[in-house]
Structure 1
Amino acid sequence: MEHTDGILRMTPGPTTVPERVRERMAEPAWNPDVESEFVDFYAALTAKLEPVYGDGDIAILGGEGILGLEAAIASLVEPGTEVLCIANGLYGEGFADFVEMYGGEATVCGGNWREPIDLASVERELEIGAYDVATMVHCETPTGTLNDLEPVLEALAAYDVISVVDAVSSLGGTPVPTEMIDVVLGASQKCFSAPPGLTVCAISDRAWERIERVETRSFYASLEPWRTVIEDGWFPYTHLSSNLLALDEATDLLLEEGLEDVYERHDRVAKHCRQRADSMGLQVYPSSESLASPTVTALAVDGQATALQRRLRDEHDIVVATGLGDRSDDILRIGHMGYNARLEWVDRTMDALEDVL
């Protein structure tokens, strides 16, 4: 019923959008620039997101999740700012590009792509450096790795370093230690299973203090105007009201199921997916299954990913993802996040994978 074109899309985002969310998005939209009702709706939506994002001020920006990563750096970094980019994957390393783009000095540390974050290397850098900001990724989607953030966040707090966490592929699918993070970054199209197009940020008072001191060189990617949008009734640009309606409905679905039940469903489906993979002789890409994310399974298929992806689409009408960067043909990724975290859809995918293998 959900796949009206007959194609099952088991990618690590964008995920399948439930019918209720699609119907809500089709409702008549406000003109957010002139109708005061929109401000009330936006305020209610940000409050509704707090159980997932924590109690920091929540801002919803019009733009895909990468906007949040850039906006955090644009708002916290100025020329000469020392930033520690804690990375064991593509997106963690990519934060350094944004830092340099806005004139900051990036130091990358943390480990290789198949291993957990190297806490010892982070602590060494904190001892010898003078960092104001640190960035990291909770779920490294390209490798299917879920990082244990709490020890790293504790180390950053000890040195009074502002923390920025890309939790785009984990929020709403697995617990995130939001109470320990200064800037939490998420998006609409992953575990929330709303259409792509919105970035959601939760921002601590400590982060706001720095944001207000930094002279950002961007307008669209600046977080500063979003602190007072509700009380001012003014938004930096015409907001994506239809996308916000969809996110509101998707959040309702999440809260109706209950967060603990949602997290348990993701864990159960992920374990089932990996058990099916193991029965075919396939291994997860991270060095240990304990590192594997409950929202995406990355399988090591040296040199076969592109061919397997093509055959799954051509022969079984199933879309999965390959790896990214120089590992694009070595990793096959199956997304089971949000609405896609369903046993029957994972079984259909793994049955097809077994056939093409």
Structure 2
Amino acid sequence: MLFTPGPTAVPPEVREAMAQPQPNSAVQPEFAERYDRLCRNLQQIYDTDHDVIVPGGEGILGLEAAIASLVAPGDRVLCVSNGIYGDGFADFVADYDGEAELVSAPYHEGFDLDAIEDALSADEEADEPFKLATLVHCETPTGTLNDLSPVLDLLDEYDVLSVVDAVSSLGGTPVPTDRIDVCLGASQKCFSAPPGLTTAAVSDRAWDAMEDREPTSLYTNLLPWRDTSDGFPYTHLDANVAALDVAVERVLEEGVESVIDRHERAAERCRQRGRDLGLSIYPDDSRSSPTVTAFHVPGEAQRIQQRVEADHDIVLATSLGDLADDILRVGHMGYNADVEKVDRVMDAIGDVIA
């Protein structure tokens, strides 16, 4: 039983779609029709009028490609962070010879709004203003759901483009996509499709900024996906597209609001069962994501993870970096946002703790 916060368990009908013979993405119009339908359906989940594209490549491709598509050497980027993936955006900026200014907060706290506003106001005096800012909606390693609205308000005030990693939140909780210039998702999280595809909602002004950026790459470049009417930039992952197409249709058949409610119920059950077992939630209930719960078990996470798998055949995740043995993560997202499945997982954790 795979209960990690991505890749998630994949429903049978999604696996079956992937196993079927696929049309050739280069020459058969059936593939383009499927791709276009998928993009239109994703717009409903993103709840946006922005263009939605689906490049071939795991979700990290989207994060890097957003930077590669927008950041030219010397461009200044404000990287807002309170976690590993927020920090990682600054590394991507450096890789493409941009100048990253990292505004960090402790991993157990929310964004530092005062520091963000200080950086933006000081930037008005700079010769080169910030071109864009990066944020993470759900910091999966700590289960933290960040409030984007106050930061987006500031970015609007200072006319700075926004790039948001919504990989672990999209499809499980509302995302203010229409306020974001590049909003990134991935197939293997709340959609419960296999890894291999990035999704991105891109605003008109983000496209314009990409047009002004002299491209240095084909693969890590979102711009060629703006218009695929004459073909795709490279051979697409036809079986992955078929799987994601079915996975997204499952979400729409259930109804986006119903899916979000299901995630909320699963998260609340997980946390209540954790509290009953005496477990602490990281960072706290008020800022925990509906898609993943992080239990703070200092020095015990890997032992519990291994025992749960060995004794109950359930695969959980620990955290990353310095918190790798301090946080045990339960990924109730997508297909696994189910109260009965959560109860089975928490019964296993309780048995191991006892």
Letter in 2 for 1:267: E
Q: Distance in 1 between matches of 2:30 and 2:245?
A: 15
Matches within 5 A, 1:54-73: 54-73=48-67
Q: Distance in 1 between matches of 2:314 and 2:13?
A: 23
CA contact (8 A) 1:322 1:328 kept: yes
Match of 1:260 in 2: 257
Q: Distance in 2 between matches of 1:216 and 1:72?
A: 12
Q: Distance in 2 between matches of 1:281 and 1:148?
A: 28
Matches within 5 A, 1:145-164: 145-164=144-163
Give the superposed CA RMSD: 0.8
Which digits, 9 at most, give the CA deviation of each residue in 1:137-182, with x for residues without a partner? Answer: 0000000000010111111011110000000000000000001000
Q: Distance in 1 between matches of 2:34 and 2:226?
A: 16
Q: Distance in 1 between matches of 2:188 and 2:24?
A: 23
Match of 2:247 in 1: 250
Gapped regions of structure 1 (runs ≥ 5): 1-7
Q: Distance in 2 between matches of 1:154 and 1:269?
A: 31
Percent identity over paired residues: 59
Match of 1:42 in 2: 35
CA contact (8 A) 1:270 1:336 kept: yes
Cα deviation for residue 204 of structure 1 reads: 0.3
3-state SS of paired residue (2:62) = helix
Cα deviation for residue 119 of structure 1 reads: 1.2
CA contact (8 A) 2:34 2:245 kept: no
* Count of matched residue pairs: 347
* 2:190 paired with 1:196: no
Give the ranges of 4+ consecutive aligned residues of structure 1 lying more than 2 Å apart after TM superposition: none
Letter in 2 for 1:117: F
Letter in 2 for 1:93: D
Q: Distance in 2 between matches of 1:110 and 1:151?
A: 16
CA contact (8 A) 1:110 1:119 kept: no
3-state SS of paired residue (1:229) = coil
* 2:346 paired with 1:350: yes
Which digits, 9 at most, give the CA deviation of each residue in 1:190-245, with x for residues without a partner? Answer: 00001110001110000000001112322101011111113x2x111100111101
Cα deviation for residue 56 of structure 1 reads: 1.0
Cα deviation for residue 294 of structure 1 reads: 0.3
Q: 1:280 aligns with which of 277, 281, 306?
A: 277
Cα deviation for residue 46 of structure 1 reads: 0.6
Match of 2:15 in 1: 22
Match of 1:291 in 2: 287
TM-score calculated relative to the size of structure 2:
0.97
Match of 1:89 in 2: 83
Which digits, 9 at most, give the CA deviation of each residue in 1:74-110, with x for residues without a partner? Answer: 0000110100000000000100000000000001114
Matches within 5 A, 1:153-192: 153-192=152-191
Match of 2:130 in 1: 131
Match of 1:102 in 2: 96
CA contact (8 A) 1:143 1:298 kept: yes
Gapped regions of structure 2 (runs ≥ 5): 124-128
